Amino acid sequence: MTAELDDKVNDLPSNFDNCIFYNAIIKDDYPYDEWEVEYFVNFAVNGLESQVSEYYWRSEKIISKMRELGVDTEENWIEIDKTLIDPIFELIDDDDDGVEVFRMVIKMLSTLEQKYEVI
């Protein structure tokens, strides 16, 4: 990872407790895929503050529930990365439509909330 990108990642409030993307990127089969990290940084830095705040708030609740259920595992994060995160990054790679990307992020959060019965 480039030093500039590494600095941007370190400036984000993301960690294993509050960020679905962070967990999926770090715990997948290929940790620190530079293109995934770059797309995530762009989402977190360039997204509307209210959308990014909602993302972190909902992610924290999901991750907490996953831990409570005992499913905060590397195997599970690999599956989340392949089925939910990769399609978002592919959309960004294809056309960078911010509105559609945000819709997919909200859909991902809703899917995980339903799966783990997050209230």
Residue 65: per-residue pLDDT: 98
Residue 89: per-residue pLDDT: 84
The closest alpha carbon to 14, from 40, 36, 32, belongs to 40
Q: Up-side HSE of residue 75: CA atoms within 13 Å toward CB?
A: 2
More confident residue, 26 or 114: 114
The predicted model scores a pTM of 0.84
Residue 64: per-residue pLDDT: 98
- From the number of C-beta atoms within 10 Å of its C-beta (0-12, 13-18, 19+), residue 46 rates as exposed
Both structure tokens of 24: 């999926």
Amino acid code (one letter) for 66:
M
What digits encode the pLDDT tens for the residues 27-76?
877 755 666 777 777 777 776 677 888 999 999 999 999 999 999 999 99
